[in-house]
Structure 1
């Protein structure tokens, strides 16, 4: 008789929900000690104030965004979107770009939707236009931008125009240069929907997943904003603001590195008040279109050959569209 080896025991996985709950509990228990430490250092106190201000302002819009995203995952199927698309590819790209206004969702939630659209027969250019439009032009993001930049309606219009233009231009470009061989033939990305799940289960899982992921990047973004506020001398911002081209490129690259959620990035941008509005607008246009987490998700869902072609091209188009939108909606470089 041949002895059968027992399968190796799987390592227990700790849920991110439990990690978050544990961190909150530690913070509550140690709040007196933390307050004493923060109060002992003026710069740390300033950084904490900036961090809390950015985080508290962004959280309501983040929660609203993930709830809407969960509802879309549960009640709006890609098949329904596919039926609403015109047969003409150019017209379908325009419809998909505008559809993003009515179907808000975070970047990570839109990637699997775009993958399913392609799997159901939609042209890749149409699905990609929707992928770029939905996280950046929806009402939740635009209202959050208006709250983050009170008295600056040009920032809201500039973000909308620049992001929609990025989605449409990329859709049209991909319809000309895209190749089927650059994309994986089957969906291998993360999908909130599982066979046999109820709509409530799909909703709660999608909302939980998006909230945990988006919250992590919001913490990173708020921490980065606080660090930039206290560590970077004001003279650097003044010099950077005087070199508009360099400022635009720096903010565009910062958007890629920070990889913020689109419902919260406006509050991080508003905290950089020493910089002109135009570079900060480019930051808001580039972020939802291309960043490090989106590159990883797109590589997993569509293939690495796709990601290494799509992401650099999207970056260039987003920078150009954001800059032009800024000059049109902000009344020049300010």
Structure 2
């Protein structure tokens, strides 16, 4: 690979990742800031079911309502957890939301029109993995996992010193100021993750990577690692996966389609900006293990 071609490829990949993610981050920080300014803790806590299974279903339903990828969901969930949403509900929202929303369902269906079982398998495995991890966190994670939990007390505008709520214009201005601050906070991790992802894709040839993934077990691990490195948006990753249908098994493609939206290099850095490192490490292990086992079982059953 010539230097000029490699540099051009690097710039193309880097810019494409940034342009793909920024609209969703903007949506995410705007929704997050709206919640921060306009929604009280009591409202958040009121509508979350007490029963863990119902709460997990509630989190999945939120994923249908908010067609946002993981880049945009992380700031929203960080704000919701600060507002009183249980941690396990927020994590299920982050993991499942980017997969089961209608935009991703439609893009996956278009990419696998001749193989519709891949579409439904993707949705089912995402729900199973999300439910397992949600219940695990509910029963075993008792500490506050937010990185800035000490500073998570609400400082947003609900009342002036007079006891009256501030004017709408004042609250909107405060919302946009908060959104700008949060966009910078999240955006720096997006840029770093995109830089490293573009560098890896440029320096490592795809042909060499495909040779590694020929085995039944190794192909699953490879496609999960490939999804992690590529850091694609869940609205477009199905088209990449469909290009490998003649090379990889259905189970390994399923692993790619579920693991990538739940966890990639870019979102890992963003998770580290919101949650404590030990919790992020635990989440990585849970996602990797459950997707790996689940994709092998579903691959044997349906592909």
Q: Is the shorter-chain TM-score for this pair beyond 0.5, marking a shared fold?
A: yes
Contact 2:48 2:55 in 1 (8 A): yes
User: Are the counterparts in 1 of residues 96 and 126 from structure 2 also a CA contact under 8 Å?
Assistant: yes
1:267 aligns with 2:230: no
Post-superposition offset of 1:265? 1.6
Q: CA deviation at 1:207?
A: 9.4
Check if 1:310 corresponds to 2:283. yes
Asked whether the 8 Å contact 1:62–1:211 carries over to 2, the reply is no
Q: In 2, distance between residues paired with 1:115 and 1:105?
A: 15
1:251 and 2:223 matched: yes
In the alignment, the residues of structure 1 paired with residue 213 and residue 24 of structure 2 have an alpha-carbon distance, to the nearest angstrom, of: 33
> Relative to structure 1, is the Cα distance of residues 175 and 248 closer, same or farther in structure 2, using a 3 angstrom cutoff?
same
Q: Does 1:170 align with 2:133?
A: yes
Alignment of 1:181-196 (within 5 A): 182-184=145-147, 186=149, 196=171
- The structure that has the greater radius of gyration is 1
In 2, distance between residues paired with 1:298 and 1:97?
19
Rounded Cα–Cα distance in structure 2 between residues aligned with 1:67 and 1:92: 27
The answer to whether the 8 A contact 1:78-1:113 is kept is: no
Q: Is this contact kept in 2: 1:145–1:156, CA < 8 A?
A: yes
The equivalences for 1:282-297 within 5 A come to: 282-297=255-270
Structure 1 position 227, deviation (Å): 8.7
Q: Secondary structure at the match of 1:86?
A: coil
Say yes or no: does 1:153 pair with 2:128: no
How far the C-alpha of 1:94 sits from its partner, in A, is 2.5
Aligned counterparts of 2:188 and 2:182: Cα–Cα separation in 1: 10
1:113 corresponds to which residue?
76
State the alpha-carbon separation in 2 of the partners of residues 174 and 204 from structure 1.
Answer: 31
Unaligned residue ranges in structure 1 (runs of 5+) = 1-36, 39-43
**Count of residue pairs brought into register by the alignment:** 276
Tell me how far apart the structure 2 counterparts of residues 60 and 292 of structure 1 sit (CA, whole Å): 16
Matched, 1:133 2:96: yes
Q: Unpaired runs of 5+ in structure 2? A: 158-170
User: In 2, distance between residues paired with 1:321 and 1:222?
Assistant: 29
Pair 1:320 & 2:293 matched: yes
Candidates 66, 77, 82, aligned match of 1:103: 66
Name the CA shift for 1:253/1:239 in 2 (closer, same or farther; >3 Å).
closer
The 1:109–1:62 alpha-carbon spacing in structure 2 relative to 1, beyond 3 Å, is closer
* CA offset digits 1:122-145 (Å, max 9, x no partner): 221121111211112111111111
Change beyond 3 A, Cα 1:206–1:141: farther
Partner of 1:24: none
- CA shift, 1:292, in A, is 2.1
